[in-house]
Structures are given as structure tokens and as C-alpha cells.
Amino acid sequence: MSRLLLVLVVIAVIALCLWGMSRSWRRRVASGADIPALAVAPIHKSIDAVSIDHATAAGTSDTARILAEAKASGGLLQLNHPHLQSPMGFLDWELLPEFDLLEVWNGKGQPNASTNAEAKQTWYELLNQGIFIAASCGSDNHDVTGGYMWARDGDAWMNRGLFSGSPAVYVETGATPSRDEVLAALGQGRSFITNGPLPRFALAGRGPGSRVTPGELEVTVAVTDVRGLERVDVIVNGEVRHQHAFAGERDGALSFSFAGAAGDWCLVEAFGADGGYALTNPVFVDTASPTQ
């Protein structure tokens, strides 16, 4: 008899929880949102960017409205894990040019693998079409456990640590950067992403986010990784133009030249021990006057 009573109590609790969830779901549907529906995040003046995914919007038109409101408030828009195969992936590809930043490395996964590899390839394709959205990243760490629960045998890059701030975006600003300077640097691509290696890259003397005029252009790279360097790839128009191997040195440097034509772009990837990785934003070759 006591067991039967316990079973009935458990069933009643479950039913009560389901009833509460159902009411919440009905309220969200009644508000006009699609399934799965979440309330639109409010935009506050103190917030630099608003995180939204497809689940927060009632279709493409509503996503466009959210983006427009965020832009009007001075927000900086970043598209996260665009190729994730779930409701948290991105479906409204026609709205991609509205974004300022593209997460080409989501910290829950290895760089240059799986959906991160797809995101970087999408970014390269956009650059080759003359569409610039600055590369960005994020740890995707939502709690104190970090990403260690995702670790698998052979995932050397996990040794770099999965926690808030890894990977991270480094931006170039003045000596005492203001909020507006940081946001401007992010949007202009004066930055690189990394979980350790620190690349300093210039094309014809100008760093990421800049434009240089066509001609014989010198690439210079200096990079540091306290865990040891493995190699640096110089990428031109999505292809490896030059590669330099290291043997575990802490500091390294290289330089070489190539004939840059209008429409070209150039960036650097750095690889270190234990899955160390860094990716700069590009320098563009343009017929317009150089900019920094």
C-alpha cells in the first residue's frame, strides 16, 4: 500500500511539472513565437552585443527585426556556431551579411575540425566573394565545469584548457582603450583569435583589418608560444601560400614576399604544441589608399 502511494505521489509530481511546462509553452506560442520559442532578449544600452539564435526568433523576418534593432542601438552582431546541426545552428543565411563577426572557432570543439572547419571554410568563401565579416571565437563555457566533459582520448588541444577566455579574441587598440575603441577594432578585424600562440602579422607593414595597394608585398610574422611552436601558415585567398615549420621554439619569425593583386587577401595561422592555434584576420589588397 505504501509503495502504491509513493508511485501515485511521483506520478502527480510529474504531471504537475508537465502541466506547468505546457502552460509556459502555450504562453510562448500565444505570444506569436514559433516552436521552439523563446522571448526576445531585451537590448540595454550597457550591453555591447545581444546573443540570439534561431530558437529566439519567429522566422527569418523576426530575426531580421532583432538584428536591425540591435544595430540601431549600437550593438555589434556576432554569429555563433553557424554550422551546428541543431536548433542552435543558423538557418537564415540570407541575413549573414548583417553580422559584424563570425565565430569560426567555438571553444566546445577542436579548431579546424567538424563544424569549426565548416565555419572557417564559409568565412574563406565569403572573403573570396569580397564579403568581410571579422573572424571571432568564443569559449562557449556556460558554467564552472568548462568543456572538460567533452574531452576524448587524443584531444591534445584539451590540454590548453577549456574555460572562460579560451579561446579568446585579441584586438589592437590604443594604450588606454575605450569601449568604443574595442568595439571598433572587433568590427574592423584588427584582431586575432587564439588559445595560446600570439602572432604579430603584417603585410607591407600593415596589420589585420588594413588595406594595402597591389604590388610586391612583404609578409612579416613574429609569433610566441610558451608551450612551443610547430608551424606557421601564410594564407592567401584561402590557400596556403607559404609554410614555415618550427621545432618547439618559444619564439619564431619569418618573412617572404609575393605579388599581390587587387582583391587578394592574406592572413596567418599559427600552430603550437598541445593543440595551440591562432588565426589572424586578413589584410586586404586594394587599389584604394592604404588604411590602418
What does the pLDDT look like over 219-234, one tens digit per residue?
999 999 999 999 999 9
Question: Model's pTM, two decimal places?
Answer: 0.77
Task: Pick the more confident residue, 124 or 19.
Answer: 124
Domain boundaries, the chain: 39-193, 196-292
Q: Which whole number is the average pLDDT over 187-212?
A: 97
3-state secondary structure of 153: coil
**Polymer length in residues for the chain:** 292
Q: Which residue pairs, CB below 8 angstroms and at least 24 apart, start in 178-181?
A: 179/48
pLDDT over threshold 80, residue 170 = yes
Buried b (16+ CB within 10 A) or exposed e, 195-231: bbbbbbbbbbebbbbbbbeeeebebbbebbbebbbbe
Q: Which whole number is the average pLDDT over 77-87?
A: 84
The whole-number pLDDT of residue 281 equals 98
pLDDT tens column, 1-10: 566 665 555 5
The whole-number pLDDT of residue 208 equals 98
- In which band, very low, low, confident or very high, does the pLDDT at 12 lie, cut at 50, 70 and 90? low
**Separation CA 77–CA 79 (nearest Å):** 7
Which among 103-107, 141-145, 250-254 has the top mean pLDDT? 250-254
pLDDT over threshold 50, residue 23 = no
The whole-number pLDDT of residue 144 equals 62
Q: What is the CATH number of domain 196-292?
A: 2.60.40.10
pLDDT over threshold 60, residue 199 = yes
The whole-number pLDDT of residue 49 equals 44
The whole-number pLDDT of residue 133 equals 96
Average pLDDT, the chain: 80
pLDDT tens column, 242-290: 999 999 999 999 999 999 999 999 999 999 998 899 999 999 999 775 5
Q: Which whole number is the average pLDDT over 187-211?
A: 97
Query: 156: phi > 0 → left, psi -120 to 50 → alpha, else beta; which?
Result: alpha
The whole-number pLDDT of residue 41 equals 30
Q: Alpha helices, DSSP H only, in the chain? A: 2-30, 60-72, 114-128, 179-188
3-state secondary structure of 219: strand
The whole-number pLDDT of residue 157 equals 62
Task: Pick the more confident residue, 157 or 174.
Answer: 174
The whole-number pLDDT of residue 35 equals 29
The whole-number pLDDT of residue 11 equals 60
pLDDT tens column, 41-72: 333 333 444 455 544 556 778 888 888 998 88
The whole-number pLDDT of residue 9 equals 53
